[in-house]
Amino acid sequence: MPIQKLINYFGSILPLSDQEIEAVARVSIERKIKRRQFILQDGDRCRHYTFVVSGCFKMYSVDPEGKEHNLQFGAENAWLTDMASFHSIKPSDLKNPNAGIPSRLYIEAIEPSSIIQIGLMDLVFLFENFPKFNRIFRIIIENNFIELQERVLQNISCTAEQRYCAFLNQYPELSKRLPNTQIASFLGITPEFLSSIRKTIANR
């Protein structure tokens, strides 16, 4: 069951009590997502944290020329949200569809996927009534921040080949599931340059 995978994930960080498990099950929304279906688009107000049970997503922006720039991939056990948009909405304003900062990002399924979403009001409920979830989500956010820091450092100090090798280390399974165009967008290079890097590595 999808909810069991989420419970196992939380339990890998901090063990949950029966009451905490029941609370998570009560606030979790299970969804099946088709390939190329969006769970967030530019201009939406982001109102959920999304846990990937199975499948794969990309989070990206689109520049004025229409070019996509991949910011993050999310496969099994990953969390996806637009932090800026999500945390700009006050719990008291949840019923107002125009509350909060509109997202500038897209989150799109690359593969048919299964997800669990937790809304802002439900997340606040967990934080207020079960402090353990405050600790769990703090760890999740800290880990994501560390990944972001590392990526920024790579972009300013590493060659494209070094960034590609780091991508392989970070996403060893995804490198086999993603097309060249998606990986190249993440690395900030062209698909042709990525092919050249791969040939160079293969010939060593």
Give the domain ranges of the chain.
Answer: 2-130
**What does the CA dihedral 13, 130, 32, 177 come to, rounded to 10 degrees?**
-20
pTM: 0.92
Mean pLDDT of the chain: 93
Residue type, 45: R
Q: How far is the C-alpha of 136 from the C-alpha of 148, rounded, in Å?
A: 19
Residue 140 has pLDDT above 90, yes or no: yes
Residue 91 has pLDDT above 80, yes or no: no
Which CATH code is given to the segment(s) 2-130? Answer: 2.60.120.10
C-beta separation of 126 from 159 below 8 A: no
Nearest alpha carbon to residue 73 among 108, 97, 40:
108
Residue 2, Cα to own-chain centre: how many angstroms?
Answer: 17
Residue 98 has pLDDT above 90, yes or no: no
Residue 96 has pLDDT above 90, yes or no: no
Going from the C-alpha of 46 to that of each of 7, 11, 68, 108, the distances in angstroms are 23, 26, 20, 14
